[in-house]
A and B are shown apart, each in its own frame.
Chain A
Amino acid sequence: MTNSNKTICVVWTGKEKQIIKKMNLSKEGQDVQILVLLLGKRDQKVNVDIFVNHAKSRTQSRVVVKGVLFDRAQAEVNGRVSIEKGAVDSKAWLEAKLLLLSEKASGRVEPNLEICENEVVAGHATTVGQVNEEELFYLMSRGLPTETATRLLVRGFLSSILAEFPSSYKIYEKLEKRLSHI
């Protein structure tokens, strides 16, 4: 049996209104990773809809959405991961984390799981919030101005997902461009 691995990467910098990714894992042992990075500013809005269906056994999915929202930017993330009956030994992970960098930024996260098989491992985690005040305070007490400290914390928040993107996405450049905004 051959394993088929696939990684889907999405970077949003405000152009699209909607991002839809659908994956049906219909081959035994199929693997998918969906990585979504959201960098929103001004009045940019995005709806992210991700659907993953595990139809066969030993399938694996990992969905990670990380977003940084400036100004009045808004993000709505809807994820739905289903595991069909019979898709034994499957694994699913769904993660959505949003960082709000302005008072007017807002987010909505709906990570749904529908599990019809018991021999599986499935989980999700979401967070929505601002940069950690204590960390910010620590950096500032070391002499960094607020802006630099915030930039550092944003880079830290995104570092795990950034490292997973292929270099062709020029993701660091996009991020730095957006961070210069702070």
Chain B
Amino acid sequence: MKNIKTNYKYGFSKPETETFRTPKGLDKKIVEAISGYKKEPEWMRDFRFKSLEIFKQKAMPGWGADLSGINFDDLYYYINPSEKKFRDWKDVPTDIKDTYEKIGIPQAERLFLAGVGAQYDSEMIYHSLKTQWEKQGVIFLGTDTALQKYPEVFKQYFGKVVPPDDNKFAALNSAVWSGGSFVYVPAGVQVTIPLQAYFRINAANMGQFERTLIIAEEGSFVHYVEGCTAPIYTTDSLHSAVVEIVVKRGARVRYTTIQNWSSNVYNLVTKRMLVEEEGVGEWIDGNLGSKKTMKYPSVVLQGKGAKGEILSLAMAGAGQHQDAGGKAIHLAPYTTSTITSKSISMGGGRSSYRGLVKIINGAKGSKSFVRCDALLLDDLSRSDTYPTNIVREQNVTLGHEATVSRVGEEQLFYLMSRGLSETQATSLIVNGFIEPIVKELPLEYAVELNRLINMSMEGSVG
């Protein structure tokens, strides 16, 4: 760790309490304070500074969801609730445990998880990793810890898949990132149980900028699961994460997200996978909550025969705009991608599918298929489809299909004639509509999702 600058002077005095929190707003001093507080190496501090400049220069996106409600000066960019890193469940503070109890984590922990990285505000506070994987060389850590413990691997991949100048929010994240997960799977290792992390925003005005980096070496497999639930606050919050994934030759990575932020959160996330030869990259992306979401998980297929799959699910209720979709960039021959999107709009919500499929010249024999289905539950809601398909190569197959429909009256009538109430019947139809995506989710997520849908149907029908 000799490259870590030790003579750094804090831009802020450390508060008397255990909590370190930067003041509201964003400038170089804040970024310096975050970096200094974390005792980061110089290259990372410079990276943050450079990213901050890019963030200032970049314009807000002129498309997608309306983001005019974000006031960057009115947000906290870093809060650390606890200085301690917990290795053991019994050491986790009770109030945090209670919150997770409600979300259902403890059972999931016992039954399905191998290691848990639960993010409370900006820090990973709890971590456990099964010893068998530690023996196999799998690394599953908070991103901050990984930077300290594995600086070389970290530097090699960090910011390479999603560079700071990719977009304004990637630049913001690069400048103030904190927390997130770091996963490294050595060649040939199959991680059979999904790795899970729960993220939460729970201080008012708190912006969360977690950064996740996953590296799957040749022939390995890992499934990473991320879910969000947030309590309700009175003021707007911003969640702007970056997820970078490298899928090496013949490896497979699946990344599952169920996002259920409270309805005042702006959720603006950049997610991308680089997939090498014969590798498989899969995104399963469910967007249920938030005020506005802009999220388009991408697969960059850069090796021959690489495969990408994106399943996107969006539910927009009152006051919500889900602008979600996926991108597949074919850069090598015989690459294949499929994008399946299912969206539901109700109660005045708006859901948009926005997608890109690009096949460059030379990516011969590539195939891509995009299917997006939208369900409009009432006449207050809105559904859009904005697909872009670019083909610069002759020897390819690209298909795209979309349908927009409502709940069929005949289906509804049939179910109601069998004794179901209108709410029950609608829930059943909606659950059937999203089934192709739900069946890919881990069991507890599928159950949770079904419950959520049934809950949101109550009062929305009739």
Contacts and interface: CB of A to CB of B under 8 A. Distances in A.
A88 to B, nearest CB: 8
A129 B377 contact: no
Given A124-B401, A127-B399, A119 B406 contact: yes
A110 B381 contact: no
Interface stretch (B45-53, B271-279, B390-398, B411-419): B390-398
A128 B397 CA distance: 6
B392 A124 contact: no
A88 B379 CA distance: 9
B382 A116 contact: yes
B398 A123 contact: no
Nearest to A121: B405
B41 interface: no
Interface in A121-158: 121-130
A85 interface: yes
Contacts of A128: 389, 391, 396, 398
Interface string B128-144: 00000000000000000
B343 to A, nearest CB: 11
Given A123-B403, A124-B400, A112 B392 contact: no
A114 interface: yes
Contact of B394 (A105, A110, A114, A118): A105
A130 B367 CA distance: 11
Given A108-B390, A113-B385, A129 B397 contact: yes
A101 B399 CA distance: 17
A175 to B, nearest CB: 20
A115 B389 CA distance: 20
B387 to A, nearest CB: 6
Interface string A91-113: 00000001011111111111111
B388 interface: yes
Given A123-B404, A124-B401, A118 B377 contact: yes
A134 to B, nearest CB: 12
Contacts of B391: 98, 100, 106-108, 128-129
A124 B385 CA distance: 9
Contact of B379 (A103, A117, A123): A117
B402 interface: yes
Nearest to B377: A118
Interface residues of B, number: 32
A165 B58 CA distance: 49
Q: Which of A98, A113, A118 has the most CB of B within 10 A?
A: A118
A85 B348 CA distance: 11
Contacts of B383: 113, 115
B167 interface: no
Contact of A129 (B382, B388, B396, B403): B396
A171 interface: no
A126 B387 CA distance: 10
Interface residues of A, number: 34
Nearest to A127: B399
B366 to A, nearest CB: 10
Q: Which of B374, B385, B401 has the most CB of A within 10 A?
A: B385
A106 B376 CA distance: 35
Contact of B387 (A112, A119, A130): A112
A120 interface: yes
B171 to A, nearest CB: 27
Nearest to A78: B388
Nearest to A123: B403
B382 A115 contact: yes
B395 A130 contact: yes
Contacts of B440: none
A125 B401 contact: yes
B384 interface: yes
A115 B404 contact: yes
B394 A130 contact: yes
A132 to B, nearest CB: 9
B374 A100 contact: no
A115 B396 contact: no
Nearest to B407: A118
Contact of A106 (B361, B388, B403, B404): B361
A100 B394 CA distance: 5
B386 interface: yes
A80 to B, nearest CB: 9
Contact of B389 (A102, A105, A109, A113): A109
B394 A108 contact: no
A47 to B, nearest CB: 14
B422 interface: no
Contacts of B42: none
Contacts of A121: 404-405
B327 to A, nearest CB: 14
Interface of B: 361, 374, 376-379, 381-406
Counting from the closest, the 5 A-B pairs by CB-CB distance are: A118-B376, A128-B391, A122-B404, A100-B394, A113-B385
28 contacts: A100-B394, A106-B393, A107-B391, A108-B389, A108-B391, A109-B388, A110-B389, A112-B387, A113-B383, A113-B384, A115-B374, A115-B376, A115-B383, A116-B381, A118-B376, A118-B378, A118-B381, A118-B406, A120-B406, A124-B400, A125-B399, A125-B402, A127-B397, A127-B398, A128-B389, A128-B396, A128-B398, A129-B396
